[in-house]
Structure 1
Amino acid sequence: MPWIYLAVAGLFEIVWAFSMKQSEGFTRPGPTVVTIAAMIASFALLSLAMKSLPLGTAYTIWTGIGAVGAFLVGIAILGEAASAMRIVAALLIVAGLVLMKLSAPA
């Protein structure tokens, strides 16, 4: 169950990153409320996952899901650049996440 908590926490991190961008510096109320709610949900689920997962593993995977997810949302929704170097960088982050998961105690 902690891995599910961690994955969903990472998804909420993507939501809050995107909604923070949409809030335009917290000047738009709707996206600002979504940002705060998603942050709370993300932190709460991360804290549940950390009850049984190592700190380094949980935090690295949480931030990695958020980073790669925000990168993909930026490309898919916001029209940000998808250069070869940016894609390779994202793939390296994913490779690191896989290695962290594989190295975590059972």
Structure 2
Amino acid sequence: MAWVYLILAGVFEVVGVTGMNKVVKDKNLKAYLILFSGFICSFSLLSLAMQTLPAGTSYAVWTGIGTIGGTIVGMLFYGDAKDWRRILFIGLIVLAVIGLKTIS
């Protein structure tokens, strides 16, 4: 169950980062609600995952999911570059996360 918590924590990290982007652009209540609810859920789930999983593995996977998700959201919704090199490095992060799961 710890891995489910960790994956969900990473997803909510992306929600929080998306909220951060909305706050910069809109500065309305909805944007702040997305920002704070995303990060509160993310940190809560991360702390649950860290009760079972090692801290280093948890943090690496959590930040990896956040990085991948934030980059993909930026490419799909905010006009960030879709260069093949970005996609290659996203793939390398995915491989690293899979590797950490395999050895944990």
Question: Which structure has greater helix proportion?
Answer: 2
**Displacement of 1:32:** 1.4
After superposition, the CA RMSD in angstroms is 1.3
Aligned partner letter, 2:53: L
Match of 2:84 in 1: 84
- 2:9 paired with 1:9: yes
SS at match of 1:10: helix
- 2:65 paired with 1:65: yes
SS at match of 2:80: coil
Contact persistence 1:14–1:69 (CA under 8 A)? yes
Partners of 1:19 and 1:42 in 2: CA distance = 13
Q: CA deviation digits over 1:23-58, x for unaligned, max 9?
A: 117833221121011101100000000000011111
Contact persistence 1:20–1:26 (CA under 8 A)? no
TM-score, normalisation: structure 2: 0.94
Match of 1:75 in 2: 75
Partners of 2:66 and 2:54 in 1: CA distance = 18
Partners of 1:58 and 1:26 in 2: CA distance = 32
Structure 1: give runs of 5+ residues left out of the alignment: none
Equivalent residue pairs, number:
104
Partners of 1:64 and 1:95 in 2: CA distance = 10
Identical pairs, percent: 38
Structure 2: give runs of 5+ residues left out of the alignment: none
Partners of 1:44 and 1:26 in 2: CA distance = 26
